[in-house]
Amino acid sequence: MRTKETSIKNRLKRIHQYYKYTGFYTFVGRSLKKSILPIAIFILALIAIDQFVIDFSDFFTHVTNNYAPISILTVFYVSESLLGLIPPEIFIAWSDKTVNPIVFLSLLALLSYLGGITSYFIGKTILKIPSVYNYMEGKMKKHLTNIRKWGGFLIIVGALLPIPFSMTSMAAGTINYPLKNYLLFGLLRFVRFYLYAIAIFSIV
């Protein structure tokens, strides 16, 4: 028993040293610093606009009453599949004005997760097109390098933090990262949506 515990401790120590030496912790720290400011600005902007420009409650109620949920959810899924073109926070705020906020929030989290899976398979597909692969190799060089070094831990960071999850997912597919591991780590996308909703629901 003691030998097994020692073996686990030694393995964890080696993993810690590896991520320390390869700059993973530095990367996470920088990502947090970069993400905190945009999030703070977004929240402050929401409060300011809500107070002085438009009533967000009325705006999202108007959107809910005039656009079919399936249309909004479809736009969100496409965005999450193609490099996260629209900030998911906007859709989280919208879900608060629906007939069942928790259900729609959960649908958004599910669609974001499925959008990441779509990006993963887009990454696998571009391997078969040399010209596209070479182009994406250049555009995603940093993501490809990082995911080759850190694998699942980078997917966890991408799922939880406001860094391009779609780009990370696409890079995972490009290097043929094991699908079952990707699907497992990607589930943390749900955690991100519920945590963000706690803050955003209190504002709008």
Condensed to tens digits (0 to 9), the pLDDT of residues 17-49 reads 877 777 777 777 777 676 677 667 766 776 776
DSSP label of 153: H
Compare 126 and 182 and report the one with higher pLDDT: 182
Judge whether 153 lies within some domain.
yes
Cα(41)–Cα(43) distance, rounded to whole angstroms?
Answer: 6
Distances (CA, A) of 50 to 39, 43, 56, 58, 80: 16, 10, 6, 10, 26
Compare 98 and 118 and report the one with higher pLDDT: 118
Distances (CA, A) of 104 to 135, 151, 175, 198: 37, 31, 33, 14
Judge whether 168 lies within some domain.
yes
Range of the domain at 157: 56-201
Print the SS3 string covering 45-114.
HHHHHHHHCCCHHHHHHHHHHHCCHHHHHHHHHHHHHCCCCCCHHHHHHHHCCCCCHHHHHHHHHHHHHH
Judge whether 40 lies within some domain.
no
pLDDT for the residue 200: 80
Judge whether 138 lies within some domain.
yes
Report the pLDDT averaged over residues 178-196. 93
Question: What would you report as the CA-atom Rg of the chain, rounded to the nearest whole angstrom?
Answer: 19
Give per-residue pLDDT as tens, 147-175. Answer: 788 878 888 888 888 777 888 898 888 88
pLDDT for the residue 154: 82
Judge whether 1 lies within some domain.
no
Report the pLDDT averaged over residues 7-18. 74
Judge whether 46 lies within some domain.
no
Judge whether 78 lies within some domain.
yes
Give per-residue pLDDT as tens, 106-134. Answer: 999 999 999 999 999 998 888 777 777 77
SS3 label, residue 169: helix
Angle in degrees, CA 163, 141, 122, rounded to 5:
70
Q: How many CA atoms lie within 13 A of 198 on its CB side?
A: 5
Helices 101-126 + 165-174 axis angle, to 10: 40
Say what the pTM is.
Answer: 0.76
Domain count, the chain: 1
> Which of 69-78, 86-95, 127-136 is least confident?
127-136
Contact 189, 109 (CB under 8 A): yes
Judge whether 166 lies within some domain.
yes
Residues 6 or more apart from 200 whose CB is under 8 A from it? Answer: 43, 46, 89, 92, 93, 96
Residues 6 or more apart from 143 whose CB is under 8 A from it? Answer: 164, 167, 168, 170, 171
DSSP label of 34: H
pLDDT for the residue 113: 96
Question: In the structure encoding, which two tokens stand for residue 153, read together?
Answer: 């831990």
pLDDT for the residue 187: 94
